[in-house]
């Protein structure tokens, strides 16, 4: 059974955020760990568009979170937490945030994108094109890089680096393995690889 089918079964074929039955899709909540159903929720295109593009957020649409915060599924609660933090200056979202309980590991997942932090506190990793980078992503080098230590070699432009990790106190550094050597790579020299549909 596909993840989409499992999500439809679990949710009764309704958006797990706003309860819409129209234009539903499996939405994977970043950052990705194992890619299983627990990292997905069923969402309508209206919710997905606003989650992914903060400037298109319609505050009134998200009053639906009054119900979604009680979901038994962590992926739903993580997105609810992020959207409520994005909207908390409106007043009413703060009341829902006060009621929303997340286990420590789920809270770390919710905070991983920097939602809820002030701009000064955010450490957001972006590639050379401005795409957000998350732990576990695959990136491609955009130029040849000289690797010192561990054999002194040149990592060629176009080399794929899988399952990267982020340097949490520096938005310009990520880590990965090339030719078996663990190295730090500057984000300005990488391009995120997106899975083919």
121 backbone dihedrals φ, ψ, rounded to 5°? -90, -10
Q: Is the pLDDT of residue 100 over 60?
A: yes
| Count of CA atoms in the C-beta half-sphere (13 A) of 140 | 9
Comparing 86-90, 104-108, 112-116, which segment has the lowest mean pLDDT? 112-116
Give residue 150's pLDDT: 62
Residue 31 vs residue 18, higher pLDDT: 18
Q: What is the mean pLDDT of residues 161-184?
A: 87
Strand partners, 26: 42
* pLDDT value for 197: 43
Q: How far apart (Å, rounded) are the C-alpha atoms in residues 62 and 90?
A: 11
pTM of model > 0.85: no
pLDDT for 28:
93
Give the per-residue pLDDT at 149.
Answer: 65
What domains, with CATH codes, occur in the chain? 3-111 (no CATH), 138-193 (2.30.30.40)
- Which two tokens mark 166? 């982020």
Q: Residue 106: which pLDDT band, with cuts at 50, 70 and 90? A: very high
Q: What are phi and psi of 161, to 5 degrees?
A: -120, 115
Residue 118 CB-density burial (10 A; 0-12 exposed, 13-18 middle, 19+ buried): exposed
């Amino acid at each position: 059974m596909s993840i989409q089918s499992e999500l439809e079964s679990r949710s009764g074929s309704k958006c797990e955020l706003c309860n819409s039955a129209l234009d539903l899709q499996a939405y994977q909540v970043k950052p990705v760990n194992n890619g299983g159903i627990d990292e997905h929720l069923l969402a309508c295109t209206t919710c997905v568009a606003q989650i992914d593009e903060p400037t298109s957020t319609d505050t009134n649409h998200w009053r639906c979170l009054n119900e979604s915060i009680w979901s038994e599924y962590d992926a739903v609660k993580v997105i609810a937490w992020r959207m409520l933090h994005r909207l908390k200056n409106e007043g009413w979202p703060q009341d829902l945030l006060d009621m929303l309980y997340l286990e420590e590991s789920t809270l770390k997942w919710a905070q991983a994108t920097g939602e809820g932090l002030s701009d000064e506190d955010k450490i957001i990793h972006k590639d050379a094109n401005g795409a957000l980078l998350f732990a576990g992503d695959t990136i491609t080098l955009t130029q040849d890089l000289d690797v010192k230590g561990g054999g002194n070699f040149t990592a060629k432009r176009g080399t794929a680096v899988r399952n990267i990790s982020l340097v949490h106190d520096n938005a310009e550094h990520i880590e990965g393995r090339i030719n078996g050597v663990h190295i730090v790579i500057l984000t300005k020299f990488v391009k995120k690889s997106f899975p083919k549909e």
